[in-house]
Structure 1
């Protein structure tokens, strides 16, 4: 098989996975993969190690909420690096011998802190390569583990990108072959619950909506730049002129809309669509019309 044929086959497989529902609705925190004997017997918790990146920025959002659009707008700024979805939560450290945990304890490290050090190094490496000084990770499932990100980086900044839950459900259903509507509603509810939790518990977070971003991109990005402590640049809105890497499944949106290089109007939620009562409550809390 030629290299081109292999590449096309792999792309087809990734696209099929991306439009299929996840194996678990909220598979953001994989179960532990190592035996209890690999943990220190005294329940040791390591202190926080110094961070190379002290104040990274995390975009918290549901899937299908415009986070890729926000990424490319930010990545078009001369000081902001916003790479593809990094999926740090899936990068793990394995202690392969019974004595490894004890050895790490002598270095003031445990498994979680080892993972945090590795995550921090990845962000620092990407930031250094870019030559910029602010890094943004917009992986949507980060929303489900935001307390751990806050524990890892106490000085992290958070951007909450909201979208009407009904529109998110419609978007997910339209992108999946043979959609399971009950599973989709449960998935969206899971994201919405964690977003609301973050909104309540992170008073310094910057809250914005996808609908506002697409309707008034200059005003909204100006406010976001002020939050990040950088000057607004008009070139952010012309993101098609910049190189944002490959748009492909599992690393963010890859639709024709995002490839257009232009901010396009958000698709509105169907006002006649029935939502679960909890999502109706959430939409009201986020000031969406009933």
Structure 2
């Protein structure tokens, strides 16, 4: 007689109950995760910045992918007063209160989730700046184009550099960086999201200094002088000879401006596309960014 039978006999005699094997339950489908609500935060007033922020007047490059932002970052980073670290993707750093007690404690301090994230972002950038021994931090992550409003709210005294490049050149470069993963049509669609975000920042009156990749490759000294004047630092010739800092890791995947990174000196850009070479979805932005009159011209002319 099995153990289960003996156990049930004893249970029945004493309690009137029996043990039965539970029926097999059908596999449960994983419930969809609820959407994370937008972070709540307050924008500090300028007079409160000494308490709310460690950084003063940080600089953010607003650009699409494949627009030459790595080249610009390295040129600015070669300045003795400008620190331009690698892409930091601050927008992907979240702060979460794990229970009601911590959330209530932070709320009592006037700090909601977004406020805590802003404090962390500010500390990360300030740490990098202090470690560099320089005066001004320059952050360039293409995804910043999607969160320019929040950057402006986090640092009300932030300065912005809008970097433009011919939309068709951006799409081709994005395609050529990984032709298997990104066929041309896919590259156009993906890159267009970034370009439209940059255009929204321009249309919103973000201000700052606008510079073109084609102008940087054609007249590097003139453009660096413009940027230095905007950033309130003296121009330094070393910005045009930024060396090979970072080695091959920076070169890998940089596409059509990899020679700029290898040599440490600015090289001429590619020929600008002709009218009939521009994908239809990109033509409105070409007009908005003033490239229609430049179509067919050489970027180094």
Class of the TM-score when normalised by the shorter of the 2 chains: 0.7 to 0.9
Alpha carbons 2:43, 2:156 under 8 Å: kept: no
Question: Whose relative contact order is higher, 1 or 2, with alpha carbons under 8 Å and at least 6 apart?
Answer: 1
Partner of 1:170: 172
Alpha carbons 1:73, 1:236 under 8 Å: kept: yes
Partner of 1:206: 209
Partner of 1:7: none
Q: How far off is 1:238 after superposition?
A: 0.8
Q: How far off is 1:181 after superposition?
A: 2.7
1:83–1:45 CA distance, 2 compared to 1 (3 A):
closer
- Which residue of 211, 236, 242 maps to 2:239? 236
**Corresponding pairs, count:** 251
In the alignment, structure 1 residue 192 sits paired with structure 2 residue 195: yes
SS at match of 2:235: coil
Alpha carbons 2:177, 2:253 under 8 Å: kept: no
Task: Could you tell me which runs of 5 or more consecutive residues in structure 1 were left unpaired when the two chains were aligned.
Answer: 1-30
SS at match of 2:61: strand
Partner of 1:273: 277
Q: Distance in 2 between matches of 1:140 and 1:32?
A: 27
1:161–1:50 CA distance, 2 compared to 1 (3 A):
same
SS at match of 2:145: helix
* Coordinate RMSD, CA, aligned: 2.6
In the alignment, structure 1 residue 103 sits paired with structure 2 residue 105: yes
Task: Could you tell me which runs of 5 or more consecutive residues in structure 2 were left unpaired when the two chains were aligned.
Answer: 1-32, 45-50, 296-301
Partner of 1:90: 92
Q: Distance in 2 between matches of 1:166 and 1:91?
A: 32
Q: How far off is 1:268 after superposition?
A: 2.9
Q: How far off is 1:203 after superposition?
A: 5.0
- Which residue of 219, 244, 249 maps to 1:216? 219
Q: Which has the larger radius of gyration?
A: 2
Q: How far off is 1:262 after superposition?
A: 1.4
1:32–1:140 CA distance, 2 compared to 1 (3 A):
farther
TM (norm. structure 2) is 0.76
Q: Distance in 1 between matches of 2:215 and 2:59?
A: 20
Partner of 2:25: none
Partner of 2:71: 69
Q: Distance in 1 between matches of 2:252 and 2:230?
A: 26
Q: Distance in 2 between matches of 1:76 and 1:133?
A: 13
Alpha carbons 1:59, 1:159 under 8 Å: kept: yes
1:98–1:203 CA distance, 2 compared to 1 (3 A):
closer
Partner of 2:115: 113
Alpha carbons 1:85, 1:252 under 8 Å: kept: no
1:230–1:249 CA distance, 2 compared to 1 (3 A):
closer
Q: Distance in 1 between matches of 2:243 and 2:189?
A: 35
Alpha carbons 1:167, 1:270 under 8 Å: kept: yes
Q: Distance in 1 between matches of 2:172 and 2:89?
A: 25
